[in-house]
Amino acid sequence: MSAHKIPRANSHNTGIAAEYFILSQLYRQSIEAYISIGNTKTIDIKIIKKDGFAISLDVKAVRGYSSLIVNNLTYRPDHYVAFVVYNENFEQINCMPEVYIVPSLIVQEIKRDYNKQLRVMKGDIQGFKDQWELIK
């Protein structure tokens, strides 16, 4: 009998999975969206609203559940952050992650510095769970 190794958490894979998950959710709601490709991009997804106005979206993901790193964010009225929280169920494909849609200016107000890392605590964004209307 061979031992099955559990793969080490890979933050790049978590981020990519979350970006495409959010893109899929946007298209399911008939929201016109375009994903940015590359490692040095300044935004993850551009959204064209029905009135033609464009907004941008950063996607931040975590496999756990307590806080999310928000280093290098853009803070503008037309910029939002989609937090994707997998609650330790990243590998469980039948488990849907929690999604929080938060205006970047709110993130700027609630972020905290923990050991030189800017973080948002999940408890501080509870009111933004599934707030897709903010970006429609």
**pLDDT tens sequence across 96-118:** 999 999 999 999 999 999 989 99
**Sign of CA pseudo-dihedral 48, 67, 61, 64:** negative
User: What domains lie within the chain, and their CATH numbers?
Assistant: 11-135 (3.40.1350.10)
Quote the pLDDT of residue 12. Answer: 80
pTM: 0.89
Assess contact for 83 and 125: CB atoms under 8 A.
yes
Quote the pLDDT of residue 7. Answer: 52
* Neighbouring C-alpha atoms within 13 Å toward the C-beta of 70: 29
In this prediction, the residues of the chain whose per-residue pLDDT falls under 70 are 1-9, 40
Quote the pLDDT of residue 2. Answer: 46
